[in-house]
Amino acid sequence: MNDLNRTTTRVVRVGGDQPYDVVLGRRLLGELPALLGDGVRRVLVIATQAMAASAEAVRADLAESGYEALLAEVPDAEGAKTAEVAGFCWQVLGQANFTRSDAIVSLGGGATTDLAGFVASTWLRGITVVHIPTTLLGMVDAAVGGKTAINTAEGKNLVGTFYPPAGVLCDLAALESLPTFDFVAGLGEVIKCGFIADPRILELIEADPAGIVARGGKLAEGGTSEDVLLELIERSVRVKAAVVGEDLTDHGAREILNYGHTFAHAIEQVERYSWRHGAAVSVGMVFAAELARLAGRLADDVVDRHRAILTSVGLPVSYRGDRWDKLLGVMRRDKKTRGDLLRFVVLEAVAKPARLEGPDPVLLAAAYAEISEGAPTPRTIPL
Ligand SMILES: NC(=O)c1ccc[n+]([C@@H]2O[C@H](COP(=O)([O-])OP(=O)(O)OC[C@H]3O[C@@H](n4cnc5c(N)ncnc54)[C@H](O)[C@@H]3O)[C@@H](O)[C@H]2O)c1
Ligand SMILES: O=C(O)C(=O)C[C@@H](O)[C@H](O)[C@H](O)COP(=O)(O)O
Ligand SMILES: [Zn+2]
């Protein structure tokens, strides 16, 4: 390998009251102490069993650098995002005498970073956290922006905090072991960034969808597929950084990052978290696009573009047609809802997000019919 071809490290700065860096590249562990900052003595690495080997490598590296470093193993995927698991982590922190000058490092997918961020934000009312996302979705979305969350029986992410990390390390090498299924789920959020803010993302994927999906374990360091992937990741992180830098606490601009999520979170809950978040977001974006079309706000070709690009990478664009009442019930608890008013992020064009507030229930049901499995095409639902 020619040294000149090696992946260069890229840094995206997230602004706001507590700015921090998202570092993208390879062999980034050396950056961790600087992100943790001065004065940290103890570090708890939070990771799942699936990431145990990498987590132990991070723990050992920290120990070698002079930290008292511990490991806490948490359940996989959404199983980590519970009050019980948060309680377990608080117990570990308490028994190891973690003080306000100590820190947490999360290593894993978005579920792990959401849980670890929540634990860090609540322990002693807030200690330093650095995220090391190991899924595409974690890198482009979950680890960036400071939203932390656990689920409750009533729904997804219903308890959480806004708590920016001290930094984020995205090591592309982690993606080599990621199953295609999970890589593709991450593309759902990448494509979301394309639709809400950066059409170049859509063009890059449309130019070679199969090539992007096939990157699998074949990510050659410094090779062409890595270049494109790095560009997609960087562009997505830049979209997110720009939005959260302006609106950390979701009072305005940040809502656009929730494109497709009202319906997506309902699918996830109704399916008892057997769907990956990114796959649910894919269906949710088509639902939102159909809703906007039916409301006369979005042109047919943009709706078609949703289906085409999402299908081209293997993401779902439809859902079973016999769950409307349950889905609607869950959507009423979406965080964008105000009182009885359901609110959706919709598009008026690519990169032109808007809000649709209190849509006619007939329109909502019609959008659901359009994305229901076996829905007739071309569209037959009258406005
Ligand atoms: N906080 C936010 O802003 C935000 C944004 C988007 C999504 N999220 C949350 O993120 C979660 C979804 O994240 P996700 O898609 O990363 O799912 P995930 O965390 O459940 O990880 C998916 C699977 O990949 C495995 N895995 C992780 N890294 C791996 C690797 N390098 N190699 C092999 N396997 C690996 C995990 O063990 C898990 O089984 C959801 O809970 C969602 O709500 C949060
Ligand atoms: O960062 C945000 O803001 C987002 O909405 C990003 C979403 O991709 C992410 O899934 C987020 O966790 C959803 O937040 P929620 O407020 O709807 O729970
Ligand atoms: Zn999401």
Give the chain's largest Cα–Cα span.
67
240 is in an annotated binding site: no
Assign 3-class secondary structure to 159-179: EEEECCCCEEEEEHHHHHHCC
- Asked whether residue 340 is domain-assigned, the answer is yes
Q: What angle do CA 341, 273, 178 make, to 5 degrees?
A: 120
Does one domain contain both 183 and 330? no
Coil, strand or helix at 151: strand
CATH number at residue 291: 1.20.1090.10
Q: How far apart are the C-alpha atoms of 300 and 308, rounded to whole Å?
A: 12
Does one domain contain both 280 and 335? yes
Does one domain contain both 238 and 263? no
Q: How far apart are the C-alpha atoms of 236 and 132, rounded to whole Å?
A: 17
Pick the last residue of a domain from 223, 245, 267.
245
Cα-based torsion angle of the residue sequence 21, 25, 26, 32 in order, rounded to the nearest 10 degrees: 0
- Asked whether residue 383 is domain-assigned, the answer is no
Regarding the beta carbon of 141 and ligand 2, being less than 6 Å apart is answered: yes
- Asked whether residue 376 is domain-assigned, the answer is no
Does one domain contain both 12 and 158? yes
| Cα-to-centroid distance, 280 and ligand 1 (Å) | 13
Peptide bond into 378 cis (omega under 30): yes
For the chain, the distance separating the N- and C-terminal CA atoms, rounded to the nearest angstrom, is 59
Best mutation site among 135, 139, 192, 196 for ligand 1, i.e. most ligand atoms within 8 A of its Cβ? 135
222 is in an annotated binding site: no
Nearest residue to 287 via CA among 250, 259, 326, 311: 259
Does one domain contain both 210 and 268? no
Partners of 14 in beta bridges: 20
Which domain, by its residues, includes 328?
A: 259-371
| 306 touches 317 (CB < 8 A) | yes
Nearest residue to 290 via CA among 184, 383, 187: 383
Amino acid sitting at position 34:
A
Pick the last residue of a domain from 245, 278, 294.
245
Paired tokens of 153: 């029986």
Q: How far apart are the C-alpha atoms of 262 and 285, rounded to whole Å?
A: 9
- Asked whether residue 378 is domain-assigned, the answer is no
Does one domain contain both 66 and 188? yes
- Asked whether residue 19 is domain-assigned, the answer is yes
Best mutation site among 114, 121, 189, 272 for ligand 1, i.e. most ligand atoms within 8 A of its Cβ? 114
Does one domain contain both 238 and 324? no
User: Rounded to two decimals, what is the model's pTM?
Assistant: 0.96
Nearest residue to 259 via CA among 300, 230, 302, 296: 302
CATH number at residue 146: 3.40.50.1970
266 is in an annotated binding site: no
Q: How far apart are the C-alpha atoms of 258 and 109, rounded to whole Å?
A: 19
Residue found under tokens 């069993």: 49
Does one domain contain both 230 and 323? no
Regarding the beta carbon of 157 and ligand 2, being less than 6 Å apart is answered: yes
The interface pTM score, or ipTM, of the predicted complex is 0.99
Does one domain contain both 29 and 175? yes
Regarding the beta carbon of 238 and ligand 2, being less than 6 Å apart is answered: no
Does one domain contain both 233 and 175? yes
- Asked whether residue 381 is domain-assigned, the answer is no
Q: What is the DSSP letter of 304?
A: H
Does one domain contain both 43 and 144? yes
135 is in an annotated binding site: yes
Residue found under tokens 């482009």: 140
For helices 224-246 and 199-207, give the axis angle rounded to 10 degrees.
160
81 is in an annotated binding site: yes
Best mutation site among 74, 169, 182, 192 for ligand 1, i.e. most ligand atoms within 8 A of its Cβ? 182
- The distance from CA 323 to its chain's CA centroid, rounded to whole angstroms, is 25
Residue 196 makes CB contacts below 8 A (sequence gap 6+) with 239, 256, 257, 259, 345, 347, 351, 353
Question: How does pLDDT run along the chain (383 residues), one tens digit per residue?
Answer: 445 556 789 999 999 999 999 999 999 999 999 999 999 999 999 999 999 999 999 999 999 999 999 999 999 999 999 999 999 999 999 999 999 999 999 999 999 999 999 999 999 999 999 999 999 999 999 999 999 999 999 999 999 999 999 999 999 999 999 999 999 999 999 999 999 999 999 999 999 999 999 874 456 676 767 889 999 999 999 999 999 999 999 999 999 999 999 999 999 999 999 999 999 999 999 999 999 999 999 999 999 999 999 999 999 999 999 999 999 999 999 999 999 999 999 999 999 999 999 999 999 999 999 999 976 544 433 33
Q: How far apart are the C-alpha atoms of 300 and 161, rounded to whole Å?
A: 38
Cα-based torsion angle of the residue sequence 40, 45, 46, 51 in order, rounded to the nearest 10 degrees: 150
- Identify the pLDDT of residue 147: 98
- Identify the pLDDT of residue 32: 98
What element of type H or E holds 285?
helix 277-294
Regarding the beta carbon of 248 and ligand 2, being less than 6 Å apart is answered: no
Q: How many CB atoms lie within 10 A of CB 223?
A: 15
Does one domain contain both 264 and 303? yes
- Count of structural domains within the chain: 2
Q: Whose CA is closest to atom 44 on ligand 1?
A: 142
Cα-based torsion angle of the residue sequence 145, 148, 153, 155 in order, rounded to the nearest 10 degrees: -10
Within a 13 Å sphere around the CA of 20, how many CA atoms are in the beta-carbon half? 26
Coil, strand or helix at 40: coil
